[in-house]
Amino acid sequence: MVLAVSAWEKLSSGGEANLYAHQAESFLSGRLSVEADLQDVAVHRGERFVPFPPFPAVALMPLVAIFGVERAPVVAFAVALSGLSGYLLARILQTLELSPLIGVVATMGFFLGTAYWSAVRVSERVWFFAQVIAVLCTLTALHQALVRRSAWMSGLCLGLAFLSRQMTVYLALFVLSLLITRQPSRTTREQLRVAAAFAIPLSLCVGIYLLLNYLRFGDAFETGYRFIQLTGHLAERVSKHGLFSLEYVPFNAIYLFLQGFHLEFAPPDFLRPVGLDPFGSSLLAASPFVAAAFWARWHRLLVVSAWASVGLIVAQTLLYYNNGMLQWNAQRFTLDFLPALMVLVGVGMRSHTSVWVLAVAYAVALNAVALLAFQR
Q: Which pLDDT belongs to residue 2?
A: 61
CA 256 – CA 259 distance, rounded (Å) = 7
Angle among Cα 227, 254, 112 to the nearest 5 degrees reads: 85
Dihedral angle computed from the Cα positions of residues 227, 232, 236 and 242, in that order, rounded to the nearest 10 degrees: -40
CA 169 – CA 219 distance, rounded (Å) = 20
CA 31 – CA 34 distance, rounded (Å) = 8
What amino acid is encoded at 50 in this protein? V
Q: Which pLDDT belongs to residue 371?
A: 81
CA 155 – CA 134 distance, rounded (Å) = 14
CA 289 – CA 135 distance, rounded (Å) = 19
Which candidate, 291, 280, 272, places its Cα nearest to that of 325? 280
**Cα diameter, the chain:** 72
Q: How many CB atoms lie within 10 A of CB 140?
A: 22
User: 3-state class of 47 per DSSP?
Assistant: strand
Counting Cα atoms < 13 Å in the Cβ hemisphere of 239 gives 8
Q: Which residues contact 45 (CB under 8 A, 6 or more apart)?
A: none
Which candidate, 57, 62, 76, 59, places its Cα nearest to that of 7? 76
Q: Are 178 and 302 in contact (CB under 8 A)?
A: yes
Q: Are 202 and 155 in contact (CB under 8 A)?
A: yes
Q: Which pLDDT belongs to residue 258?
A: 94
Q: Which pLDDT belongs to residue 262?
A: 86
Q: Which pLDDT belongs to residue 374?
A: 66
Q: Which pLDDT belongs to residue 15?
A: 85
User: 3-state class of 273 per DSSP?
Assistant: strand
CA 128 – CA 82 distance, rounded (Å) = 13
> What averages of pLDDT result for each successive group of 10 residues across the chain (376 residues)?
62 86 97 92 94 97 96 94 96 94 96 94 93 98 94 97 98 96 81 94 98 96 93 91 96 95 81 82 96 95 97 97 88 97 97 96 92 69
- Alpha-helical (H) ranges within the chain are 2-6, 19-28, 55-67, 74-95, 100-112, 115-121, 126-143, 151-162, 172-181, 188-217, 232-241, 249-253, 283-286, 300-318, 338-348, 353-375
Which candidate, 280, 301, 293, places its Cα nearest to that of 340? 293
